[in-house]
Structure 1
Amino acid sequence: MTNQVNQAEINQAVWAACDTFRGTVDPSIYKDFVLTMLFLKFLSDVWREHYELYEAEYGDAPELIAEMMKNERFVLPEGASFYDLYRQRHTPGNGERIDKALHAIEEANITKLRDVFQDISFNSTKLGEEKQKNDILAHLLEDFADERLDLRLAHIGNQDVIGNAYEYLISRFASEAGKTAGEFYTPAEVSELIAELVDPQEGDEICDPTCGSASLLMKCGRQIREKGSKKYALYGQEAIGSTWALAKMNLFLHGEDNHRVEWGDTIRNPKLLDGDDRLKHFDVVVANPPFSLAKWGHATAQDDRFGRFRRGVPPKTKGDYAFILHMIETMKPGIGRMGVVVPHGVLFRGAAEGKIRRKLVEEHKLDAVIGLPEKLFFGTGIPAAILIFKQDKEDGSVLFIDASREFIKGTNQNRLDTEKHIKKIVETYRAREPETDKYSYLAQFGEMAENDFNLNIPRYVDTFEEEEEIDLMAVRAEREALKKELADLDAQMQGYLQELGYLETAQ
């Protein structure tokens, strides 16, 4: 019986593999190499384990075993295994061999892994000249040969461990990447919160038009699995090629085969279309789009063939409402619901954004505005908000929640507690009470109209705390006592200075 390894040991081992690159290669570059090697190791170990199981059952019948292996979830071509590469690690040409292995795997699994490795080259000069590159990659192969990274099911116990390790790496890379981290990662607790708010159900089609590494999509899928069903479909689109590849590998490692994730710019070139070449509609739409993107596609928005900007064209230098309007148009009529992360400026900025905001409120689509704490997101310290939209709202009320003051403080990054903070937000949202003291307020359409459709949360949720009444006579008495104490100290200092001869004694 193989001794099982726990999640913490696997996480520690994969993070230690990064030491091979530190001081030589920037984390924004080496993250793709480490994550891809984890993916290759997983494929190789699963393939090896299944082959050994068939071998134990059918004995010396290689042709029969080969036929059985054709029914596996994926195909690992001969010579493309991690172990083939590991055996040759001390021979020149590691980068070229790894690239050839990845391309062979892609070709053999074209429907699931098409183009996934095209932006990742282990033979890149980013790893240095040939001798240095070969040495680095030899060390990387040795790192993943660590016995803790034996990723056979008998050793890890549950396939979720691999997906969790991948997510762990992505989150660690995000914490090191600074401003660029938002391109590929939404903090896990924020993803969890959004997923609970939109409440995915069995049979739902779920979309994230700016999906990053797909963590938010998978949180929605997990909500359904926890209800006892695997009947759902995940859709996404991602503009950055290397991040799109992360999403595809992430979904694969988590066993999410029922997905369609496209590579391309969602605003300029939406690719999730139906049979009539129109925007596909979804039961659930979620996203954490880039905040206030400057170059989002303003020049062609006026002539958008999908009519996404009929409520108004967002400002040239702020693309927040471009993503919101796209998502609105992709909700299924009558049943669609949507959750999107936005900077607070979306709630109150005027001009074109003010007009768009007014129309969305007038159409009774906005359901809730939830203010989050500062420093939750990688790369920015500003607080953000979550907007919830629904297609089936009957009235124009909007629930405002101010959750900005409740969080666990971290050195560089704050976070939400699942049981305490997330649970409170979700329960408040579902209860939809007229008001909870200093936390939420259910605003009616008329109130928002009176505020000229400014949705800044403090206009609706009163968080004012009365200051303790000051006893002026007590303050005066304290001040007099301090004055006397200061005079006594001054006289004492004068005496010391005279004794030391710094001051002449009065004649």
Structure 2
Amino acid sequence: MTDEQKKSLESKLWDIANTLRGKMNADEFRDYALGFIFFKYLSEKMHIYANDILSGDGIEYLSLDENTAEGQEILEAVKVEAVEALGYFLKPSELFHQIAVRGSKGEFILEELTSVLNAIERSTMGTESEDDFDNLFEDLDLTSTKLGRTENAKNEIISKVLVHLDAIDFKLEDANADVLGDAYEYLIGQFASGAGKKAGEFYTPQEVSTILARIVTTGKTRLKSVYDPTCGSGSLLLRVAREVKEVGDFYGQEMNRTTYNLARMNMILHGVHYRNFDLKQDDTLETPMHEGMRFEAIVANPPFSAKWSAKDLFQADDRFAPYGRLAPSSKADYAFVTHMLHHLDDNGAMAVVLPHGALFRGGAEGHIREFIIKEKNWLDAVIGLPANIFYGTSIPTCIMVFKKCRETDEVLFIDASKNFEKGKNENYLRPSDVDKIVETFQNRTVEDKFSHLAHLDEIAENDYNLNIPRYVDTFEKEPDVDLTAVTANLKQIEQDMAEVDETIKAFCAELGLEAPV
């Protein structure tokens, strides 16, 4: 698919999503639009797979009669193989296209559609993929009054969306799942731009995701595993996969149930097999779901300075105990950092987005920061980002990079706070800005007013305060003033003013008026 065709697909999908815009808020119609796109994707994958395994018998999936004994026998055989290969099953009558056709004829399809979505989940019960499909469509509430005041009004708007979607060819036969995956990512980004503060819960700007992904994959072509403890829609995990030839397994945890559902859909839609991702839903700090596991790459954009319990029992938790202090209950930034470090493999790399305050705040945070640098030497780089590049907040942020097996006693500081393009609502990192940050990190380049390699002794002298201006001098000296030229200019101005005064006096005398003093 060409870039032009890709843009056309994105435009068509966004137009369909906008069909619901007047009915509800951005974060609400997001769930419907993305949910129906995902249902269409599952249907087309099922149709293609069933036709493939039935082709040897000369049978087309849609031609099967579901009401005959022979048809049911064939369907049962297809179901066994489909659940093993795809993770789910749909009968011919349950495919997206069939329901859309009935909707286009004015038939009432809401009850049937609800039944089909439930059937997808039921088909996975008792199988390996059960957790990955459990309650996956729970946010598609087809009884919501936001869709319409009457059942007929709801049916009309849903039918309209399905019919428009049905007309789009996802071209899944081309085995290029990333085309639709890219379009899905585009939609998530579009919804984020209109969701205000809520956007930060599920989406990291693509440019920042790219920086994190390229940092943790530096020097690698394959990753055994990648983990995001606050995975949102899963976009950051998927971005890491773009930077290498292969990722073995994806792991993540997300507290928000709706966002967790979106992340699972996003994984499947990008062609990640259900056996190769393990996403969990719960509070990562309070109820970690991947205990005992270590990962080769870890990326995260945790909620900035979130509150957490900081309960005394966590003093004995392996994630926090080595540091001697817990992150304060009012700011969980270092709770996330130490959680991630606990899960980081010895040969791995970790990159996390944090508010600038994490670089210099004292108390327990200062103690933890000093331990990481002085006792462990795990901090590899600090990257200052421009203000106002995240949805829902304008505060300046940074990226902290950690590695456990470092062979240097220097930390790289990069000040990229002035490298951006100003947008209407948010600022943007341009491709050139992203490249400069990543290349500076990869090459450990020192550049005046942009980057600096600080020895651990220098950081110690600064009491482990990592505030970037302490290491990267961005002060722009005012140009030297030429006093001789200034004096000459002042004399010229005085001379000009004297001539003006004489002219005024002569003019007043000519008119017989008293000249102003």
**TM-score, normalised on structure 2?**
0.85
Q: Using the alignment, how far apart are the partners of 2:506 and 2:233 within structure 1?
A: 73
User: Counterpart of 1:104 in 2: which secondary structure?
Assistant: helix
Which one of 233, 236, 242 corresponds to residue 216 of structure 1? 236
2:67 corresponding residue in structure 1: none
Q: Distance in 1 between matches of 2:2 and 2:436?
A: 41
- Describe the SS at the equivalent of 1:354: helix
| Post-superposition offset of 1:469 | 1.0
Q: Which of 287, 293, 309 does residue 297 from structure 1 map onto?
A: 309
Quote the Cα distance in structure 1 between the aligned partners of 2:403 and 2:172: 42
Aligned with residue 252 of structure 1, among 268, 283, 308: 268
Match among 135, 140, 161 for residue 120 of structure 1: 140
Partner of 1:361: 373
Unaligned runs of 5+ in 1: 274-278, 498-502
The correspondence of residues 97-136 of structure 1 with structure 2, limited to 5 A, is 97-110=112-125, 111=129, 112-130=132-150, 131-136=152-157
Judging changes above 3 Å, is the alpha-carbon distance between structure 1 residues 442 and 163 closer, same or farther for their aligned structure 2 residues? same
State the match for 1:344 in structure 2.
356
The structure 2 residue matched to 1:205, chosen from 216, 225, 231, is 225
1:166 to 1:450, Cα distance in 2 relative to 1, 3 A = same
Which structure: greater helix fraction?
Answer: 2
Alpha-carbon displacement from aligned partner over 1:224-251 (angstroms, at most 9, x marks no partner): 22xxxx3511100000001001110000
Quick check: 44-53 or 161-170, which moved more?
Answer: 44-53
Match of residue 256 from structure 2: 240
Give CA-to-partner distance per residue, 1:85-131, whole Å, 9 cap, x none. 22332657544433222111122134131222234322223324234
Rounded to whole Å, the distance in 1 between the matches of 2:239 and 2:504 is 69
- Rate the CA distance shift 1:393–1:492 in 2: closer, same or farther, 3 A: same
Partner of 2:96: 82
Per the alignment, residue 266 of structure 1 pairs with: 284
Aligned-residue CA RMSD (Å): 3.2
Q: Secondary structure at the match of 2:21?
A: coil
Compared CA separation, residues 291 and 491, structure 1 to 2 (3 A): farther
- Distance in 2 (CA, whole Å) between partners of 1:5 and 1:26 is 30
Matches within 5 A, 1:407-486: 407-418=420-431, 420-433=432-445, 435-479=446-490
Could you tell me how far 1:365 is from its partner in structure 2?
1.0
Q: CA deviation at 1:12?
A: 0.6
The equivalent residue for 1:12 is 11
Amino acid at match of 1:325: T
Aligned to 1:500: none
Q: Quote the Cα distance in structure 1 between the aligned partners of 2:143 and 2:108.
A: 8
The separation in 2 between residues aligned to 1:134 and 1:479, in whole angstroms, is: 80
User: Residues 79 and 101 of structure 1 are in contact (CA less than 8 Å); yes or no, is this contact kept in structure 2?
Assistant: no
Measure the CA separation in 2 of the matches of 1:124 and 1:496: 84
Change (3 A) 1:175 1:478: farther
Alpha-carbon offset, residue 426 of structure 1: 2.4
Residues 197 and 203 (structure 1), Cα distance of their counterparts in 2 relative to 1, 3 Å cut: closer
2:238/2:267 contact within 8 Å kept: yes
- Name the structure 1 match of 2:45: 46
Which residue of 169, 180, 196 maps to 1:178?
Answer: 196
Q: CA deviation at 1:463?
A: 1.8
1:139 paired residue among 160, 184, 206: 160
Q: Distance in 1 between matches of 2:385 and 2:369?
A: 20
Distance 1:292-1:55 versus aligned 2 partners, 3 A rule: same
Contact 2:101 2:163 in 1 (8 A): no
Distance 1:486 1:218, change over 3 A: farther
Rounded to whole Å, the distance in 2 between the matches of 1:381 and 1:495 is 61
Cα deviation digits, residues 381-409 of structure 1 (max 9, x gap): 22211111111124542111112222233
- In structure 2, distance between residues paired with 1:71 and 1:308: 45
Indicate how the Cα distance of structure 1 residues 44 and 60 shifts in structure 2: closer, same or farther if over 3 A, else same.
closer
Aligned to 1:306: 318
User: How many positions carry a matched residue from both structures?
Assistant: 487
What corresponds to 2:68 in structure 1?
none
Matched residue type, 2:114: D
In 2, Cα distance between equivalents of 1:47 and 1:417? 40
Specify whether residues 482 and 252 from structure 1 end up closer, same or farther in structure 2 by C-alpha distance, changes over 3 A only: farther
Asked if the contact 2:51–2:59 (Cα under 8 Å) also holds between the matched residues in 1, the reply is no
- 2:208 match: secondary structure: helix
Rounded to whole Å, the distance in 2 between the matches of 1:291 and 1:487 is 63
Q: CA–CA distance in 2 between the matches of 1:120 and 1:301?
A: 39
Mapped partners of 1:84, 1:400: distance in 2: 57
> Which residue identity does 1:213 align to in structure 2?
S
Write the deviation string for residues 126-149 of structure 1: whole angstroms up to 9, x where unpaired.
Answer: 324234322321221222123xx2
Moved more, 42-51 or 478-487: 478-487
Question: Who is 1:71 aligned against?
Answer: 81
**Whole-Å separation in 2 of the counterparts to 1:317 and 1:378:** 22
Distance 1:183 1:482, change over 3 A: farther
**Counterpart amino acid of 1:71?**
E
Runs (5+) with no aligned partner, structure 2: 65-70
Cα gap change, 1:486 to 1:250, in 2 (>3 Å): farther
Question: Shift of residue 163 of structure 1?
Answer: 0.5
SS in 1 for 2:353: strand
What are the within-5 Å matches in structure 2 for residues 50-61 of structure 1? 50-52=49-51, 58-60=57-59
Q: After alignment, is 8-17 or 372-381 more displaced? A: 372-381
Mean Cα deviation higher: 131-140 or 159-168: 131-140
Give CA deviations for 1:395-431 in whole Å, capped at 9, x if unaligned. 542111112222233333333334x333322222232
Aligned partners of 2:384 and 2:417 also within 8 Å: yes
Contact 1:96 1:123 in 2 (8 A): no
Contact 1:45–1:150 (Cα < 8 Å) also in 2 = no
Matches within 5 A, 1:147-166: 149-154=168-173, 158-166=176-184
Q: Which moved more, 1:161-170 or 1:15-24?
A: 15-24
Equivalents in 2 of 1:490, 1:367: separation in Å? 69
